[in-house]
Amino acid sequence: AQTVTQSQPEMSVQEAETVTLSCTYDTSENNYYLFWYKQPPSRQMILVIRQEAYKQQNATENRFSVNFQKAAKSFSLKISDSQLGDTAMYFCAFMIPHSGGGADGLTFGKGTHLIIQP
Partner 1 sequence: DVKVTQSSRYLVKRTGEKVFLECVQDMDHENMFWYRQDPGLGLRLIYFSYDVKMKEKGDIPEGYSVSREKKERFSLILESASTNQTSMYLCASSFTGAYGYTFGSGTRLTVV
Using CB under 8 A, list all residues that contact partner 1: 9, 33, 35, 37, 42-45, 47, 50, 52, 91, 93, 95, 97-98, 101-111
Shortest distance in whole angstroms from residue 69 CB to partner 1: 21
CA distance 35 to 92: 6
Looking at the Cβ atoms of 35 and 68, the one nearer to partner 1 is 35
Kindly state the smallest distance separating residue 13's Cβ from partner 1, in Å: 22
- The distance of closest approach from Cβ of residue 44 to partner 1 in the complex, given in angstroms and rounded to an integer, is 5
Q: Which is nearer to partner 1, 15 or 54 (CB)?
A: 54
